[in-house]
Structure 1
Amino acid sequence: MSGDARDIMFFRLSPSDYDQSTRLIADHFMRRNPLCRAIGQMDLESYGEQFLVDIKKCLASGVSVGARDRASQTLAGICLNFSPDLDEAHDMSNSDSDMCVVYRVMAMLSAGTRVFQELKVHRVLDLFTLCVHQDYDGRGLGSKLIEKSVEAGVEEGYQVASVHATNSITAKICTRHGFRIVSSLDLTTVADQMGIDTDLIPGDTEVKMLIKELDSENSKPDPQSS
C-alpha cells in the first residue's frame, strides 16, 4: 500500500476542480453506486439542480479532498465535504416527495436524530460524497480520502464529522476510521413508496448515518502514509 500512496498526491479541492469532479461523479459514482442503480438515477440531471449546488458548496468549503495520480494527473478520487446548516438539515427531515430519492433517504436517516444537540456541537463536517475512479480500485484510496478529510476537519476546528452512507463500502470504511452508527434505515421498508428496486442492491440494504467526534488524535499521521 505504501507504494501506491507514493504514486498519489492528496490535496484540498477548490471551485476550479468542478468540471473534473462532476465528471468523476457521473462516470464512477452514479453508475456504480447500488442505490443510484436501484432508483434509476445514474446521471447528474436525474439528481436535480440541488446536487450541483451542493457540489459547488463542497468545493468552496476548503475542506474537500482530492487524490491525483502524480504521473498521469488523473483525478483518482474525491471526498466532497462541507459544513451544513444544522437547522436547515433538521428541516430536511420533513421534506416532501419533490426531492430526489437519495436526498429523501438522507433526510429520513436524519429524522429524529438529535445527536448534534446532545453533543452540544455547532461545527459539523459533512462527508457528502466519496468517489474513487474505477481504475484505482483496490489501492485504499477511499480509506485515505476519509482519513485526509478527518484531518482537514481537525485542522479547521470542526467538532464532529458526519456521513450518510448510502452503500455498505462507505459505511465499512468509516467504521474502520472510528465512526459510529447513530441511525440506520432498511431500504426494503421504504422501497415501494420511494420506487427503490432493492433486488439491484447486492448484500446489505441498510443505509446508515455515522458520526465521529473530532479531536487532536485524529490529526496524527497514519504510520503507513508517505
Structure 2
Amino acid sequence: MAQFRYRSMTPEDVIQVRELYIEFWKRETIAKALKMEVPRECEKFVEYALEDAPFNQLSVVAEDTLTGKLVGMNAVVLATPGDRKSWIFPQEDPNCRTMKRSYSILDQLYAMPDYFSHFGVKNCLLSRGIVVLEEYDRRGIGTKLMQKTLGIARDLGVQLVLMDCTSPFSRRICEKLSFEQVSLIDLADKGVENLSDDNRFRIATLHALN
C-alpha cells in the first residue's frame, strides 16, 4: 500500500507541480463550463503561480514514498490587504480570455468581505489551489495537505487561512476542518451555464486560528 509524505514544496518539484496544476484545471468546474483550452490557457497561470510557490516554504506537496511521485499539492502564498498580486492572477494575454473571465469572478468573491479589518489581522495564508491526482482521491490526502498548511500558519503566528472552494472535493476538505463560509457567488448569475447544483457555486471559506 502506498504511503505518503507531506512536505514543503521545493524548486526541484516544479516539473511535477506543473503537471498537477494542469490536472487541476482539467477537472476545474468553471474551466469545463467555459470551455477553457487546457493546457494552453492555463500555462500562464502556472507560470505566475510558480513564481514564488516553490521557494516560499508555505506551499506543501504529498509525495508517494515508494515512487517519489507527487500526488497532490496545496499552493499557498502569504497575502496582505494591499498586495493584489497575491489575491488575483493578472491575466492580460488576449488569447486567454476564458482564464481571465474565470479570475474576474474569483476577484469578486474575494472582494466581498474585508477579512483583515474584520479579524484585526495584517495578513493571511491564501490557498491558490489544492489538487490531488484523480487516482489518489478519497485517501484523505487533500485534508492532510490542508492540515499541514494550518500547522504552518500556527508556526508563523498567522491567524487566518483562506480558501476558494470550487467543487465538492474542496468543500469536503473545508467542512472536515471547520472552515467557515464567508462569501458565495452563484456562477449562473455570472452567465456560466450547464452546471449542476453541486458545482454552480464558488465559496470563499476561512479558518481562524486562535
TM-score range, shorter chain: 0.7 to 0.9
In the superposition, relative to structure 1, how do residues 174 and 59 fare at CA in structure 2: closer, same or farther (>3 Å)? same
Identity %: 20
Equivalent runs, 1:1-226 vs 2, <5 Å = 7-26=3-22, 28-47=23-42, 49-89=44-84, 100-191=100-191, 196=192, 198-201=193-196, 203-215=198-210
For residue 57 of structure 2, give the secondary structure of its aligned residue in structure 1.
coil
In the superposition, relative to structure 1, how do residues 96 and 128 fare at CA in structure 2: closer, same or farther (>3 Å)? closer
For residue 17 of structure 1, give the secondary structure of its aligned residue in structure 2.
helix
In the superposition, relative to structure 1, how do residues 123 and 75 fare at CA in structure 2: closer, same or farther (>3 Å)? same
1:52 to partner: Cα distance: 1.8
1:50 to partner: Cα distance: 4.7
TM-score by length of 2: 0.86
Query: What residue in structure 2 maps to residue 219 of structure 1?
Result: none
What is the CA–CA distance in structure 1 between the aligned matches of 2:34 and 2:187, rounded to whole Å?
Answer: 11
1:73 to partner: Cα distance: 1.3
For residue 67 of structure 2, give the secondary structure of its aligned residue in structure 1.
coil
TM-score by length of 1: 0.80
Q: Structure 1 counterpart of 2:118, which letter?
A: E
1:81 to partner: Cα distance: 0.4
Q: List per-residue Cα deviations over 1:111-168 (Å, max 9, x = no partner).
A: 2311221111112000111010122112111111111111111112212000111223
Structure 2 runs not aligned, ≥5 long? none
For residue 75 of structure 2, give the secondary structure of its aligned residue in structure 1.
strand
Q: Structure 2 counterpart of 1:46, which letter?
A: E
Q: List per-residue Cα deviations over 1:58-94 (Å, max 9, x = no partner).
A: 222211110111111111100110112321339978x
1:51 to partner: Cα distance: 4.4
In the superposition, relative to structure 1, how do residues 57 and 138 fare at CA in structure 2: closer, same or farther (>3 Å)? same
What is the CA–CA distance in structure 2 between the aligned matches of 1:55 and 1:90, rounded to whole Å?
Answer: 13
